Structure 1
Amino acid sequence: MTPPAINMNSTASATTTGDKPKSSAFRIGLGDITVNNLGQIKRLNTVLFPVVYNSSFYKEILEVGEFAKIIYFNDVCVGGVCCRKEPIAGDKSSQNLYIATLGVLAPYRRLGLGSRLLTHILENAELTSSSEPKIGKVYLHVQKTNEEALEFYKKHGFQIAETLENYYPQFDDKDAYRLEKVLN
């Protein structure tokens, strides 16, 4: 299936092992999340995350534009990112951006796809139009035991801002870090 709107294309070489894609050249594209492909991001989130997101979550991501994307690998949907803008109480000129989900299917990790999604979000956060409040900070939550995610976000300039005990009471690994990156 061809993505509805590709913002980025690249051809790159991959030397992979194990169950990773064995293509020597591949195409990567970012696509908008629309009502026509909303089922794809719902299915991805079901596979990638232990949290079940409700219909209002998916309604909101249809309205955040560049802050919700699907990533395609050779025209196959393999990951996505969903964010929400959050006003700052008492500050009409600034807002924060919360990354609710960012994930890539396991066989497609370590190919730069998650980095492509995150870079897209960060670049667009810095380009907020003059008619909107400026995004001052991007933040998210990660389980304390998720070392792969912690390493990924730290590599992209995020820092641990807070440790939250029992943040995920429904899971065995209940504690989380709030990671954040302050933008210029």
Structure 2
Amino acid sequence: MAENGGDAGRGQLSLSFGPVTEKNIEQLRVLNRAIFPINYPERMYKDILAYPDVTHLAYHNDVLVGAIACRLEKTPQGPQLYILTLGVLAPYRGMGAGTALLERCLQSVAANLPEISEAVLHVQVNNEAAIKFYSRFGFEVAETIAGYYKRLDPPDAVLLRRRLQPAAGDGAAA
């Protein structure tokens, strides 16, 4: 479950950003509980701490309003960015925080991890706002996975994928 709601139309928030650390990981846990219908396991938070370059917290007036949490995964096609969560508290949605978090993460990957050639995430099939949000950034539906979510209704997910860098030997721009 990667994004809850979209960014459309209510003006821009002034945001500051920070990394997730052992000292503030509990803030991320509380934020995720407030936003998502899933209680994420402790293992996910350990994974997040291992990838500080691709996990960001967004603050408005020193209040945590959103976060993007990712990890890097090895695949047969090479390393990829997996977006675990991207969420913004309901009162702050539609004000650019989700967009800013996603852009910041993707720019960080491009600048610091050029070997990462794609970003992927799963979204519940009925989360039209999230699918539309990601499509604005070039993500495309790669496949539908039946029964992906064990405790949600509907349980099916779509896998969204976006190419970040040209593949080796591929002269096309990303």
Category of TM-score, reference length = shorter chain: 0.7 to 0.9
1:99 maps to 83
Q: Measure how far apart 1:128 and its partner are.
A: 3.2
SS state at 1:77 partner: strand
* Paired-residue identity, %: 39
Q: Measure how far apart 1:124 and its partner are.
A: 1.5
Tell me the amino acid that sits aligned with residue 174 of structure 1. P
CA distance in 2, matches of 1:126, 1:144: 29
Q: Measure how far apart 1:55 and its partner are.
A: 1.7
Aligned residue runs from structure 1 range 145-164, under 5 A: 145-164=126-145
Tell me the amino acid that sits aligned with residue 82 of structure 2. Y
1:165 maps to 146
Normalized against structure 1, the TM-score is what?
0.79
- Superposed CA RMSD in Å reads 1.9
User: Does the Cα contact within 8 Å between 1:26 and 1:74 map onto a contact in 2?
Assistant: no
Q: Measure how far apart 1:122 and its partner are.
A: 0.9
1:141 maps to 122
CA distance in 2, matches of 1:104, 1:26: 12
SS state at 2:116 partner: strand
Unpaired runs of at least 5, structure 2: 1-8, 166-174
Q: Measure how far apart 1:67 and its partner are.
A: 0.7
Q: What's the CA shift string for 1:79-138, capped at 9, x where partnerless?
A: 10110100123x6xx3011000000011101111000000011111222357xxx10110
User: Does the Cα contact within 8 Å between 2:118 and 2:164 map onto a contact in 1?
Assistant: yes
CA distance in 1, matches of 2:99, 2:12: 18
Q: Does 1:80 align with 2:67?
A: yes
The farther-off stretch of 50-59 and 38-47 is 50-59
Q: Measure how far apart 1:169 and its partner are.
A: 2.7
Normalized against structure 2, the TM-score is what?
0.84
1:51 maps to 38
Q: Does 1:38 align with 2:25?
A: yes
Tell me the amino acid that sits aligned with residue 149 of structure 1. A
Aligned residue runs from structure 1 range 22-37, under 5 A: 27-37=14-24
2:97 maps to 113
Tell me the amino acid that sits aligned with residue 136 of structure 1. S
CA distance in 2, matches of 1:57, 1:122: 20
CA gap 1:98/1:129 in 2 versus in 1, 3 angstroms: closer
